[in-house]
């Protein structure tokens, strides 16, 4: 039996988009008889107390998970081993570039936008020694390909850039693309369901998995929740977290009462074409092929929660 997972970054409260993706990851895992694991991606952007609130909110919408919650900061032995393997295979090189260096570097006319231009790939040992005294090095992967096609349950075959991406940042922290591949492998995760903002990173991750001899997971990248301007939903878009909604919110000149987590869950399920009620009921009719392939636009809480869903607007 394999496992699926949800891997939030504890940078703040989960918003409706994160909760919707978490519900989908749970539905994909449970509907295929997999375990469902939670991994807190706290190598970067961790805010004190955020993890606790995130776990509480996931439980409040009805998610359950297997085993203990893993934290990336407690998984360094796995990263060290994988890094040594790549080093021994001659697949790493030191990179001294700043962001500015990368932006200003000359590029071949056919170079993919956003790809590392290869500036430090072939430095001489003397040059490396000199640069080390100026700036700590990041470690990059010596990628063997420029692009790769991955199969995605929702997006179909997706071809994207594989460049010499960063494995370990120059502050010594394992880079996201590296940590996620090592963790998924060591945790036995064979199903990756996440927001489609990460689809473009997937060819890099799949290439790295192959180099590490890791099993390639099945991928399903789910459409995001957008605000009415078509931008990815964010906390600044207003009452978009369970915390905000549970204290009531102001909109259209009205003050609305608290929205319960179950009412939030039901609106998220409806946005996926799934029936209201406990997630176990949605599970019975869950069918990946029937999922919407377009982003869900979340306009304003007052469109979704009013007196008819147990939330009564009251005048401010």
Residues lying near ligand GLU in the complex (CB under 6 A) are found at 7-9, 41, 180, 194, 198
287 is in an annotated binding site: no
Q: Which is nearer to ligand GLU, 8 or 203 (CB)?
A: 8
* Contact between 146 and 111 (Cβ < 8 Å): no
Nearest C-alpha neighbor of 305 from the set 262, 253, 243: 262
93 is in an annotated binding site: no
Shortest separation between residue 40's beta carbon and ligand GLU, angstroms:
9
Tokens standing for 29? 């895992």
Shortest separation between residue 223's beta carbon and ligand GLU, angstroms:
15
31 is in an annotated binding site: no
Place of tokens 């605000």: 227
Shortest separation between residue 316's beta carbon and ligand GLU, angstroms:
35
Which ranges in the chain belong to alpha helices (H)?
Answer: 16-31, 50-60, 76-88, 99-104, 125-132, 176-186, 202-212, 242-246, 261-271, 279-285, 301-304
Nearest C-alpha neighbor of 146 from the set 211, 204, 202: 204
Q: Which is nearer to ligand GLU, 143 or 187 (CB)?
A: 187
176 is in an annotated binding site: yes
Shortest separation between residue 202's beta carbon and ligand GLU, angstroms:
9
Q: Which is nearer to ligand GLU, 97 or 220 (CB)?
A: 220
153 is in an annotated binding site: no
CA–CA distance, 59 with 53 (Å, rounded to integer): 10
Shortest separation between residue 133's beta carbon and ligand GLU, angstroms:
35
5 is in an annotated binding site: yes
Q: Which is nearer to ligand GLU, 24 or 267 (CB)?
A: 24
* Contact between 37 and 187 (Cβ < 8 Å): yes
CA–CA distance, 58 with 136 (Å, rounded to integer): 39
Tell me the binding residues for L-glutamate. 5-9, 41, 176, 194
Tell me the binding residues for ATP. 235
């Amino acid at each position: 039996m394999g496992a699926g997972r949800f891997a939030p970054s504890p940078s703040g409260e989960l918003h409706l988009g994160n909760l919707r993706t978490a519900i989908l990851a749970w539905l994909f895992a449970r509907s295929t008889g997999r375990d469902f694991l939670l991994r807190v991606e706290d190598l970067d952007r961790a805010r004190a107390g955020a993890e606790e609130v995130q776990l509480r909110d996931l439980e409040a919408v009805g998610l359950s998970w297997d085993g203990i919650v893993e934290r990336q900061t407690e998984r360094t032995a796995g990263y060290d081993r994988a890094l040594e393997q790549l080093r021994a295979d001659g697949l790493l090189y030191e990179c001294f570039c700043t962001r500015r260096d990368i932006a200003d570097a000359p590029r071949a006319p056919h170079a993919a936008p956003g790809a590392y231009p290869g500036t430090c790939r072939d430095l001489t040992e003397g040059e490396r020694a000199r640069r080390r005294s100026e700036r700590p090095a990041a470690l990059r992967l010596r990628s063997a390909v420029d692009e790769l096609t991955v199969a995605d349950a929702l997006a179909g075959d997706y071809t994207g850039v594989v460049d010499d991406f960063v494995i370990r940042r120059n502050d010594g922290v394992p880079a996201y693309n590296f940590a996620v591949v090592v963790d998924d492998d060591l945790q036995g995760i064979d199903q990756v369901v996440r927001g489609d903002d990460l689809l473009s990173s997937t060819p890099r991750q799949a290439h790295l998995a192959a180099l590490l001899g890791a099993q390639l997971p099945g991928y399903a990248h789910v459409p995001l929740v957008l605000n009415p301007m078509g931008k990815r939903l964010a906390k600044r878009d207003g009452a978009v977290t369970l915390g905000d909604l549970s204290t009531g919110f102001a909109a259209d000149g009205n003050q609305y009462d608290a929205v319960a987590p179950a009412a939030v869950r039901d609106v998220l399920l409806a946005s996926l074409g799934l029936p209201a009620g406990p997630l176990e009921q949605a599970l019975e009719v869950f069918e990946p092929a029937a999922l919407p392939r377009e982003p869900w636009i979340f306009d304003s809480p007052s469109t979704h929660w009013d007196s008819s869903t147990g939330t009564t607007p009251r005048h401010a």
